[in-house]
Structure 1
Amino acid sequence: MKLNDLKFLKVKIEKHPTRDIQLEFLEKPNAIAALILNSTEDKALLVEQYRPGVNGKLLEIPAGIIENNEDPKETLKREVREETGYEIESFDLIYEPKKPLILSPGYTSEELYIYIVKLKSENEKVYEKQLDEGEDLECFWHTLENIPKLTNDFKTYYALSLYKNLKNIKE
């Protein structure tokens, strides 16, 4: 495989605006991620999947790439259904971002939209997952207090911290 054959990442080079040097970065599609809470808000649904960047399995919140200029909320709906089996109608939207996060502007163009949703009840129907080719993941409910001990995934930590901060503001 040649570098130009990459499916999701494209190496880009641009000239620095004030210095005579070239800057390299990866053009990467934008994405969404969702902290999915149970109806009592004491557990979150994490997915476990192999991640080549850590050479092993990682627990993290469900996430996915925004495809074909899709609206981020449509991606949320699609990715939640594909990775967890839940329909978005089973959830109340707790948090919707006003703008995306820029994850690592020194090397990638990717923007990430973080959502927080809550199951309407514990009796919501779960359908069969619709995983993309190459995806192999399992879903597990974990208590919010245990999640920091189980993962070192940044988006998961951020979403959990965001939720805790929002909850403190509301109380």
Structure 2
Amino acid sequence: MKINDLRFLKVKIEKHPTRDIQLEFLDKPNAIAALILNFKEDKVLLVEQYRPGVSSKLLEIPAGIIENNENPIETLAREVREETGYMFESFEVIYAPKIPLILSPGYTSEELYVYILKLKTEKEKTYEKQLDEGEDLEVVWENLEKVENITNDFKTHYAITLYKNLIKK
């Protein structure tokens, strides 16, 4: 995505269906997020990047906007490659959502597809990241058990909880 295309937040107004009031919300593109586990499933790949909403760097799972009529899997493969340097073929998909999550229905139209991926082997090759213009992020592998204590990013906490519930079954 070019820096000029970053104006992806659009304020929309619609009339309430039963009240005579106008409702404001952000019309925002849908997105994906990926909890990426190493082969042993004891480490999580996080990206550290500056986030203007909190005016600081934040550790979080890789994520990105669904662009140009992509389906969520195409976006997942593209974003994982761009942000982490791993090819999508290096992963086993442990979890794929049946439907997206609605993040904040009173505030935004955005839907989020959260996936869980696992490296197929311990020796998967990485390539140079292909960051979008304006992106500046670092990849960090953290112990699975520490992640909830080092970030307050909601999608990251949700994905960790989802993974822990899946492995209990």
Q: Output the TM-score relative to the length of structure 1.
A: 0.95
Runs of 4+ in 1 over 2 A off after TM superposition: none
In the alignment of these two chains, the number of paired residues is 165
Report the 3-state secondary structure (helix = DSSP H, G, I; strand = E; otherwise coil) of the residue aligned with 2:142: strand
- Report the equivalent of 1:80: 80
Please give the alpha-carbon distance, in whole angstroms, between the structure 2 residues aligned to 1:116 and 1:145.
Answer: 16
For residues 98-126 of structure 1, the C-alpha deviation after alignment (integer angstroms, 9 at most, x for no partner) is 00000000110000000000001111000
Report the 3-state secondary structure (helix = DSSP H, G, I; strand = E; otherwise coil) of the residue aligned with 2:145: coil
Please give the alpha-carbon distance, in whole angstroms, between the structure 2 residues aligned to 1:11 and 1:68.
Answer: 21
Please give the alpha-carbon distance, in whole angstroms, between the structure 2 residues aligned to 1:28 and 1:74.
Answer: 19
- Report the equivalent of 1:101: 101
- Report the equivalent of 2:139: 139
Report the 3-state secondary structure (helix = DSSP H, G, I; strand = E; otherwise coil) of the residue aligned with 1:118: strand
- Report the equivalent of 2:42: 42
Please give the alpha-carbon distance, in whole angstroms, between the structure 2 residues aligned to 1:93 and 1:126.
Answer: 18
Identity of aligned residues (%): 78
Letter in 2 for 1:33: A
**Residues 1:49 and 1:6: Cα distance change in structure 2 (over 3 Å):** closer
Letter in 2 for 1:102: I
Q: Does 1:23 align with 2:23?
A: yes
Letter in 2 for 1:142: E
**Residues 1:6 and 1:144: Cα distance change in structure 2 (over 3 Å):** closer
Letter in 1 for 2:149: K
Question: 1:64: Cα distance to partner?
Answer: 0.2
- Report the equivalent of 2:114: 114
Q: Output the TM-score relative to the length of structure 2.
A: 0.96
CA RMSD in angstroms comes to: 1.0
Question: 1:6: Cα distance to partner?
Answer: 6.9
Question: 1:69: Cα distance to partner?
Answer: 1.7
Q: Which runs of 5+ in 1 are unaligned?
A: none
Question: 1:68: Cα distance to partner?
Answer: 1.2
- Report the equivalent of 1:53: 53
